[in-house]
Amino acid sequence: MSATLTITTDEWRYWLRSKLALAVVALFVVILVGVSALTNLRIEAEAHEREHHQEVSEETFLDQPDRHPHRMVHYGHYVFRAPMPLAIFDPGLDAITGQTLFLEGHRQNSATFSASASSADLGGLSWLTPALMYQLFAPLLVILLGHGAIVREREAGTLPALLAQGLTGRRLVAGKLLALALFVTLLLVPVLISGVIALSAGERVLAAASLLGVYLVYLLIWVALTLLVSTLAENRATAIAVLAAAWLALTLVLPAAAVNTTTQTAPLAGKIETELTMLTEIRDLGDGHDVDDSVYNDVQASLLAEYGAASIEELDINIRGVLAQKAEADLTETLNVYADRRMAAEMRQSDRVSAHGWLTPTLAVAVASRTLAGTDLFHYHRFLRQAEALRINFVQGLNRAHAEALSYTDDINRNRDEASWERARIDASNWQVLDSFQYESASASDRVAGAQWSIAMLAAWIAVLTLLLAWAGGRLKP
Amino acid sequence: MLQSEVWFLLRDRAFRVWVLVVLLFSGFAVWSGLAEVAQQRQSIAFLVDADSTDRTSEFSAQGDWGSAAYYSFHLTYDPPSDFAFAAMGQRDASSWKHRLRMLALEGQIYEHDPGNPELALIGRFDFAFFAAFVLPLVLIFLLHDLKAGERTAGRFNLLVASAGNDNRLWWTRSLLRAIGVLIAAVGPLLVGGVVSGTSAASLLGATAMVTAYVLFWTVVCLWLGSRQHPASVILASLIGVWVLLGTLLPAGGRVIIDRLVSVPSGADILMTQREAVNDAWDLPVADTMAPFVARHPEWTGYTHTGDGFDWGWYYAFQQVGDQTTESLSAAYRKGRARRDQLAAWFAIAAPPALLERWLQKLAGTNVEAVLDYEESVRAFHAELRAFYYPGLFGDAAFDPARIDDLPQFSSSE
Amino acid sequence: MTTTVKLEADALQVYRSDKEVLSGISFSLSSSEVYALLGGNGAGKSTTLLSFLGFLPAAGGRVLVNGKDVSADHKAARAAIAYLPEAASLYEHLNAFENLRYFLQLAGRSEDSPALEAALDRVSLAPASRARRLKDYSKGMRQKVAIALAILRDTDILLLDEPTSGLDPSAIDEFHDLIRDLADTGKTILMVTHDVYGACQVADRIGLLRGGKLVGEFSAPTDGRIETETVHRAFSGRTVDTQLAV
């Protein structure tokens, strides 16, 4: 063991004496801190703004005067997607997806106004986040520091001397591995800090710790890969060239190429395309605004039977409200079928892209990171679903009030004159059916479970590389 | 010297491998770009067809102008240009198709029909990304140790002593390698261009841009590679330059520009518009008609029929809703355009961003193109209003046959 | 044959990374002369050669090739000189012919195959191995190809840095004969070496370099070679500059 530690200490001493290594690491840390601070500020500002908008939107809805209930159904409500606590580290889809969703009766709108749509366009890599710094650039640091670890000894002729001391190849490799592992662990301190900040914002320890864990494994994969190449290469120039090429392929090319193949093998029909079919289906459902719509004959008959009334005017409740509820429920069922289909298709695409994590750990860690942070597609869909739940809840609440608090006679005579118009209103206290919107992420354990495949991919990568490294260390000869 | 260097280069295994890799990358990028464009064209063709069928059946089923306008949807779209296969740009994140009605435009134009956001986040491997980010790295790998490698191998002095003029030797070697990489990169683009019938001007322009870009990186490699450092140090510095120009500067620039130029929040636009449209139901009719008539004096004579619902009044408050958000919405457009202009200037300092923007401009997939498309949607919506208003506010009788006179959206292409 | 001064160092002073490596050395070579610079590690031997090629600027004094100052036109100097670097390595992925042809083309010359064969014959590289890539060569074989290259350059002046390193004894003897032949055809040859015996075998004159200074010079008698013992004693520091005037 002490031999291993000696190697480790020696490697650290070597780095500390290398101006290049110190400069590059210092630069990385400075940039990382800068990017972290900026992302933190941005997300906090966004959170603040969206929270504020949410409050204003709710107050405005509740402050509406006495009105015809169906007017409130069309008046609608806005919800805003609040960023997740860990978005300060990995904002994920936050900038790409719409932040504002308008909820109203009879429709499911899409979320609009993404940050990326209005931002200055400066190329594909300009959305720099702390997560991206680790996914793309931390491996470069590992390569820079580690590529010479073994091959350097070979080039300088110190390798035979070391092995002649009775040190085994595996010991030597283990010592270097420990040195680099220590380095990447220290490199993760900023993730730890982001995690602690997120904890104070309500994040769970399990999620933050898992996030730290996947990045540690990811960087260890690069450590193992770097040492493997350093052990097998004949000289430093070859080692760094091979590693740089591997970096290019694994971090830049493969993830983007996975997107290309996925869009072609699992294309996603546009929303307009599917809506065309949906609209035809919806038209067959009947118009809830129209009491005489033949679609509702059954409802009308059973209501009359239930209340023992001869005509709809004699009913204790307003049939227009009842029909509005029925129509909204039917419509929503259809809308949800299409929405679910759309989300399922999107998830299929995402899963297909994620499967490329077997080919590149960068994709695996990126997917795991978004999932754990709650900034992935699943959570975006979750937002849409929670918003939809809120929508159907307040719309049906208003429809119920329509049925129970407004008489049928007043209702149908509303357009007769000014006074009738005034009479066809219900009390503003009915607007309280609107629940306060609080977007909630999946539980930490669900998120970990959601990331299980990506975590398995990372585990497979580290396992295979460790085996290869043990083999390469074993055959290390002067 | 040229001839022998060409001969020499063809025997360089690393060079052959990298040229092959570049050829594969570029070919893959171009091929999937072409496939994507074909998919988008197919989707547009389907939509144009389905949209027209749907409108025909809806329009003819109506009995008055108001319902006809209410139930008729109209497709607008921005078809991919003949060069879009090379640079998908904003088409992955912004909408290039809408289906509109005569209702308030502000409530519709921001509706999105985006692809999968997760895919947009990772980004597509299109030719622009390949050329801007991957190509320089390949050049760096190939060129960083031209000198350092010869030094390590102990051939440096002999080479220079033999050649007499060392500058010419290294320039020849660098440029020949760069040309090889350039041909492998641009070749598939030109083939793709011919296949999809791209205009010669676009292809020539793109080739010129990529050539200039490759030359830039060749000079950088030659300049840093001339330092008497080990190859690994030179490689590390060159990758550092790549990171700086490709990500750090653009990321910084984006933050600064977004800070400098503020755009109204989308929520404000939507809420203002929605309030205006919704409040109108409870406001006296005159409150709506006054601002409407101010904009459209030709309908001054219009009178609201009855106390209850009236289509003219309904569409009037839709328009007034748009009018109240005009300044916000204009500021939103102007802000985006201004940010884009600043980004164009800033990109001069960050060549990878510059090349991507150039290619996207050629491909008509940049922010400017998105704003132009939005403008054409607005213009089309105005045409719709011009078509329906005589029926709604004048005394033109409804005639289902008038469907043939409906404005047709024609894409700018 | 008229004797003209082909190479001349005049109070040459050279610094490498702020360290004075040559402190004012002066010597000159005429055509048909073989001059050996003899010295230990770090004496400044290779530096002297690199100065003649214009790789290192003279901080003081001058270096002249064919009577022209190298600092004024290093291209002309390099064109007039065939240079054999220390432990010369050529391209390992090319065979002997390809290497020769490539380096000659760099120098703006092209030679037909018989000429290449003839040169390889002169350095006695086994014909069977000539079409094999250099990565399969021994150190001595590579050195032979490098020497063949120097011959093929067909310049008036040859600068050889440790030319016999890696060669076996019989190859060294053949090489010495080759040098003498070349000198007899009018070539001017400056070689640096730390091999006292070899230098005495082949050189008309020997300069003894120590710490960047020329501390001794030996000339061969008209009909014989320089005496090894004398030089050896001087080289290992056992005599003072008694021989300087010889």
List the single residue in A128, A241, A256 with the smallest CB-CB distance to B251. Answer: A128
Lowest mean pLDDT among A2-6, A101-105, B243-247: A2-6
**H helices of C82-207, where?**
96-106, 113-122, 139-152, 169-184, 196-202
pLDDT band at B125 (very low <50, low <70, confident <90, very high): very high
Q: Do chains A and C touch (3 or more CB pairs under 8 A)?
A: no
For helices B156-163 and B166-195, give the axis angle rounded to 10 degrees.
90
* Stretch A171-190: mean pLDDT: 94
C86: pLDDT confidence band, cut at 50, 70 and 90? confident
3-class secondary structure per residue, C198-230: HHHHHCCEEEEEECCEEEEEEECCCCCCCCHHH
Q: Out of A393-397, B281-285, B350-354, pick the least confident.
A: B281-285
CA distance B200 to C5: 64
Residue A295 pLDDT greater than 90, yes or no: no
pLDDT, tens digit (0-9, with 9 covering 90-100), for A324-353: 998 899 999 999 999 999 999 999 999 999
- Across C97-112, average pLDDT: 88
In which band, very low, low, confident or very high, does the pLDDT at C3 lie, cut at 50, 70 and 90?
A: low
Instruction: Output the six-digit token pair for A257.
Output: 């190429």
Burial class (CB in 10 A: 0-12, 13-18, 19+), C199: buried
Residues A347-360 pLDDT 10s: 999 999 999 999 99
Residue A3 has pLDDT above 80, yes or no: yes
Instruction: Give the gap in angstroms from C-alpha B25 to the nearest C-alpha of chain C.
Output: 27
Determine the distance in angstroms separating the CA of C204 from the nearest CA of chain B, rounded to an integer.
26
Average pLDDT over residues A98-123: 86
Does the pLDDT at position C240 exceed 50?
no
Alpha-carbon distance of A323 to A328, in angstroms, equals 8
CB C139 within 8 A of CB C163: no
Mean per-residue pLDDT over chain C, rounded = 86
Is residue C66, in this structure, part of any structural domain at all?
A: yes
Contacts of residue C233, Cβ cutoff 8 Å, sequence gap at least 6: C239
Asked if B10 is an interface residue toward chain C (Cβ–Cβ < 8 A), one would say no
CB < 8 Å to C89, chain B: 153-155
Q: What is the pLDDT of residue B307?
A: 61
Delimit the domains of chain B by residue range. Answer: 1-413
| Strand pairing category for C188-193 and C34-39 | parallel
* Chain B partners within 8 Å of C86 (Cβ): 154
Range of the domain at A164: 2-474
The CA-atom distances, in angstroms, between A315 and each of A300, C140, C172 are: 10, 113, 123
B131-181 pLDDT, tens digit each: 999 999 999 999 998 898 888 888 888 888 888 777 889 999 999 999 999
Q: Which of A60, A65, A100 sits opposite B266 (nearest CB)?
A: A100
Residue ranges in B164-265 assigned as alpha helix (H): 166-195, 200-225, 231-243, 249-260
pLDDT at residue number C2: 54
- Could you give the C-alpha distances from B197 to A83, B190, C194, in angstroms and in order? 45, 10, 71
Q: Do C106 and B11 touch (CB under 8 A)?
A: no
Long-range contacts of A17-23 (CB under 8 A, 24+ apart): A20/A144, A20/B233, A20/B236, A21/A144, A21/A145
Query: Residue C9 sits in a domain of what CATH number?
Result: 3.40.50.300
Mutation pick from B32, B119, B137, B313 vs chain A, by most beta carbons of A within 10 Å, is B119
The pLDDT-based confidence of B305 (bands split at 50, 70, 90) is low
Contact B159 C105 (CB under 8 A): no
Contact (CB<8Å) B164/C87: no
Chain C residues with CB-CB distance to B12 below 8 A: 93
What span, in angstroms and rounded, lies between the C-alpha atoms of C206 and C192? 10
- Cβ-nearest to B157 among C50, C74, C101: C50
**CA separation, residue C153 to residues B81, C47, C51, C156 (Å):** 59, 22, 20, 9
- Nearest residue on chain A to B123, alpha-carbon basis: A256
Contact flag C53-B157 (C-beta cutoff 8 Å): yes
What is the arithmetic mean of pLDDT over C150-175? Answer: 88
Please tell me whether residue C121 adopts helix, strand or coil conformation: helix
Cβ-defined contact of B13 to C102 (cutoff 8 Å): no
Taking 70 as the threshold, does the pLDDT of residue C89 lie above it?
yes
Which residue range is the domain that position C79 belongs to? 5-88+156-243
Average pLDDT score over residue span B243-265? 91
* Bridge partner residues of C95 (DSSP): C133
Query: Is C105 within 8 Å of B154 when comparing Cβ atoms?
Result: no
**B162 closest CB neighbour out of C91, C94, C106:** C106
Domain count, chain C: 1
Q: Which of A122, A354, A380, A423 to mutate to test the interface with B (most CBs of B within 10 A)?
A: A122
pLDDT at B337 over 80: yes
Q: CA of C11, closest CA in chain B: separation in Å?
A: 23
Return the residue of B nearest to A136 by Cα.
Answer: B243
Q: What residues have CB less than 8 Å from A224, skipping those under 6 apart?
A: A177, A462, A465, A466, A468, A469
Pairing mode of beta strands C213-219, C205-210: antiparallel
Token pair, residue A250, equals: 């694994």
| Contact assignment for B75 to A114 by CB distance below 8 Å | no
Most confident of the following: A47-61, A239-253, A355-369, C67-81 = A355-369
DSSP A94-129: GGTS--EEEEETTEEPPPB--HHHHS----TT----
Q: Shortest CB distance from C106 goes to which of B12, B157, B163?
A: B163
Question: Is there a domain that residue C120 lies in?
Answer: no
Subunit contact C107:B164, Cβ cutoff 8 A: yes
pLDDT attached to residue A349: 94
Nearest to B117 among A96, A275, A280 (CB): A96
CA of B219 vs chain C CAs: smallest distance (Å): 22
Taking the C-alpha atoms of residue B296 and residue B302, their distance in angstroms, rounded to an integer, is 11
Q: What is the pLDDT of residues A266-290, one digit of tens each?
A: 888 888 888 888 887 887 777 777 7
| Cβ neighbours of A346 in B, within 8 Å | 116, 118
Q: Report how many helices (DSSP H) and strands (DSSP E) chain C contains, helices first.
A: 8, 10
Give the pLDDT of residue B298: 86
Flag whether A touches B (3+ CB pairs, 8 A cutoff). yes
| Amino acid C246: pLDDT | 37
- Token pair 């106004």 is found at A113
Domain total in chain A: 1
Q: In this complex, which chains have at least 3 CB pairs below 8 Å with chain A? A: B
Do the Cβ atoms of B131 and B25 come closer than 8 Å? no
In tens, the pLDDT along A120-158 reads: 888 878 888 999 999 999 999 999 999 999 999 988 888
- Which DSSP letter does residue B131 get? I
Cβ of C106 within 8 Å of Cβ of B1? The answer is yes
Angle at Cα C97 formed by Cα C96 and Cα C98, nearest 5°? 95
Q: Is the pLDDT of residue B28 over 90?
A: yes
Whether the CB of B152 is below 8 Å from some CB of chain C: the reply is no
Per the CB < 8 Å rule, is B148 touching A380? no
